[in-house]
Structure 1
Amino acid sequence: MYRMSFGAILTAAFALGGTISANAGAESARMLVPHRAVYNLKLKEASERSGIEGMYGRMVYEFTGSACTGFTTNFRFVTKISTGEETRMTDQQTTTFENALAREFRFETKSFTDEQLDKEVRGEAVAGESGVKVEISQPEQRQVDLATSDFPTEHMLDVIENAKKGNRFFESRIFDGSENGDQSLMTTTVVGKEQAPAPGDADADKAGEFSKTPYWPVTISYFNEGTNGDATPVYSMSFKLYGNGITRDLTMDYGDFVLTGSLEKLEMLDKGPENCSEPR
């Protein structure tokens, strides 16, 4: 999953239906498989206000590690955007590390336009009983205190656990270090019933050994802090989710424009130690 200015789709996993213990969370985390997924991106629709006439690109999502060593995510999102008068290339590169057991999270994002660095954000966060403490080191040193939030892998586990239990709707607060690394977002997650790929299903053939494996259709909407009523999300994402954390057939709605992402290549990577007493 990542949001990193999506901005991602990719978790101490607790839901509205009940809290998952630390041991159960660690056990669930062992289901997540290290992998590298490549997605082809294309513009589905854009409003006149967006100023976008054409857009396409590629996204690479690499997820490695284990419940014992922590999880590292490398995420790259490259697009070419045509406004009709000019074409520009954007390139966002994000690396995060999450230790779900210690409830620690590190993040670094670099954003480029036409190969020129526009923005760099770096920091780390620790979740405690009273909330999340964020130490930002780039672009300037500062500290931010936020309400209790899930980190991305915690939230992914939360989605999977709710899907298995048949919980179709739940809410969470998430901190993923995106934008300026100084705010969390409220989310609503809708999980459909588990289903098997139908003939001609979008990019199922690219999922390799999982091409015929059942999945859940999931939609996550992100809202700014303090949003009330029937507010419009700042971003939403729909995808097909496997029980091991792999996703495909993405739709990313930024409000003024919508992108689709089809799985082009899936590569399974080596797993870390699953017994935390094993040498690392």
Structure 2
Amino acid sequence: MIIRTVLAALLSAALLTPAMAENEPGTEHMLAHRAAYRLVLDSVRDNASVVRAEGVMLFEVVDACDAWASRQRFTLMISDRDGNTIETSSDYSTLEAKDGSSIRFSLTQMTEGAVTSRIAGEATLTPQGGRAVYSEPANTQEDLPPGTILPMIHTLRSLAAARTNQRIFTAPLFDGTSADGAQDTTTIFTGGWTQPQPNPAFPLLAEIGSARMRIAFFDRNVSGQNGGAGTPDYEVSMRYFENGVADELKMDFGEFVVDGRLGELQPIPSPCG
């Protein structure tokens, strides 16, 4: 659950209508970059056993001309009241077409250094929905509902919605982090669009606007409808900049909340002409 929360949140930075012939508007503003985040325990709910959580998350997205190639590595150490400490980690990569029509994905999850899960495959989208075909688990397929979007598109659509002062945005999202197919998502924008502000730590972000949002993820088998209903599986809050860089993360896992702070940011030059 922890791994999928982070992956769905940080790699979902854009939402696009399936099978478009051209790139989603705003794609040209996305920044290819490497980013490092420090993860620390923010708060614990009553009766929770967690007393400590800390880790790191490394994210890289590269402009592959007609696609975005991304990789995310994640490690979190969690300690409970009894003094037990567990390390969970993941290595996740995608190749997502800029027109939102297809994605290849691979995810390896580990606990205490032992592999606990592998998910891999590819998905294609059409106006009618689409299909995910998995190589791991083998012989697994999932139909995707109409309107399904891919991770990098969620950022673009979310940022576009924030600029027009929308308050809520809903869509089914497929990111390849689960063999269960798409999830329903509800994005709520808080505070409206923010104009550029001084940013001594990261001057690259000082001249562009941003928006704060909270994304809730729902199991479609439970919610039964686009946008979800009832209690979400998890929620993530963040600030997204106009170029797709995210900071000031709050990842809510139910019993506890983890704070993610951007520590390093490095642009990656595009090889495309």
TM-score normalised to the size of structure 1?
0.85
Matched residue SS, 1:206: coil
**Aligned: 1:155 with 2:190:** no
Give CA-to-partner distance per residue, 1:4-35, whole Å, 9 cap, x none. 43233224724xxxx9965461x421110101
AA aligned opposite 2:223? T
Give the corresponding residue for 1:216. 211
- Residue 22 to residue 122, structure 1, CA distance change in 2 (3 Å): same
Out of 44, 67, 71, the residue aligned to residue 74 of structure 1 is 71
Q: Which of 60, 63, 70 is 1:62 aligned to?
A: 60
* Cα distance, 1:151–1:20 mapped onto 2, change above 3 Å: closer
Q: 1:205 to 1:249 in 2, by over 3 A?
A: farther
Asked if structure 1 preserves the Cα contact closer than 8 Å seen for 2:39 and 2:55, the reply is: yes
Amino acid paired to 2:58: V
CA pair 54-152 structure 1, distance change in 2 beyond 3 A: same
Aligned residue for 2:176, secondary structure, equals: coil
1:119 partnered with 2:117? yes
Runs of at least 4 residues off by over 4 Å: 19-22, 196-199
**What is the Cα deviation at residue 78 of structure 1?**
0.4
Matched letter for residue 162 of structure 1 = A
CA RMSD of aligned residues (A): 2.4
Query: Aligned residue for 1:145?
Result: 143
Mapping of residues 36-115 of structure 1, within 5 Å: 36-47=34-45, 50-66=48-64, 68-84=65-81, 85-101=83-99, 103-115=101-113
SS class of match (1:193): strand
The equivalent residue for 2:165 is 166
The residue that corresponds to 2:5 in the other structure is 5
Identity fraction in percent: 26
The whole-number CA distance in structure 2 between the counterparts of 1:58 and 1:24 is 32
List alignment gaps of at least 5 residues for structure 1. none
Provide the rounded CA distance (Å) in 2 between the counterparts of 1:34 and 1:260. 24
Provide TM-score, normalisation by structure 2: 0.87
Q: 1:227 aligns with which of 208, 223, 227?
A: 223
C-alpha change, 1:262 and 1:161, in structure 2 (3 Å) is same
Checking the alignment, whether the CA contact within 8 Å between 2:19 and 2:101 is kept in structure 1 is no
> How far did 1:52 drift?
1.3
Structure 1 residue 230 displacement after superposition: 5.5
Distance 1:20 1:92 in 2: 30
Mapped contact 1:12–1:22 kept (Cα < 8 A): no
Deviation of 1:47 (Å)? 3.2
DSSP 3-state at the match of 2:175: coil
Partner secondary structure for residue 193 of structure 2: coil
Q: Distance in 2 between matches of 1:102 and 1:80?
A: 34
Q: What is the DSSP-based 3-state SS (H/G/I as helix, E as strand, rest coil) of the residue aligned with 2:152?
A: helix
